[in-house]
Amino acid sequence: MGKFLNEFKQFAMRGNVLDMAVGVIIGGAFGKIVSSVVDDIIMPPIGWLIGGVNFSDLKVTLPSVEVIGGEKLQAATINYGNFLQTTLDFLIVAFCVFLLIKVVNKVTAKKEEKPAEAPKAPEPTQEEKLLAEIRDLLKEQKG
């Protein structure tokens, strides 16, 4: 059991898993912001332009059914206005994600285009300089 918990801890503490968790949390919050923009800012003017229609109220009411004993069930509705708002939410989120990925790809491409500078050789130490001089003197004596 201890080995299993250690493996799970190692898995959960990886950078990719933590990055994904942060992304999911931020994505959920971003989705709420987009829903608010659509519901509270975009849809009211569109509804006003087409005659004061509130999209969330658009629906088709199906005929109600009577149950034994003369009691009527509540009529079922197809809420296509809600569907339109949700679809618009999705399109806006998808467009924002597209723009974000486009920017990330552009930044990544710029980093790849930069030529990597060749690393400079470290300055030789005093010992290396002395050894080089000794080598050169030995070559002169042999030659």
Q: How confident is the model over 91-131, as pLDDT tens digits? A: 887 887 788 889 888 888 877 666 666 678 888 888 888 88
pTM: 0.50
CA dist., res. 14 & res. 2, Å (int)? 19
Angle between the 2-12 and 15-36 helix axes, to the nearest 10 degrees?
60
Query: Which ranges of the chain does DSSP label H, i.e. alpha helix?
Result: 2-12, 15-36, 43-49, 80-113, 126-142
CA dist., res. 123 & res. 101, Å (int)? 43
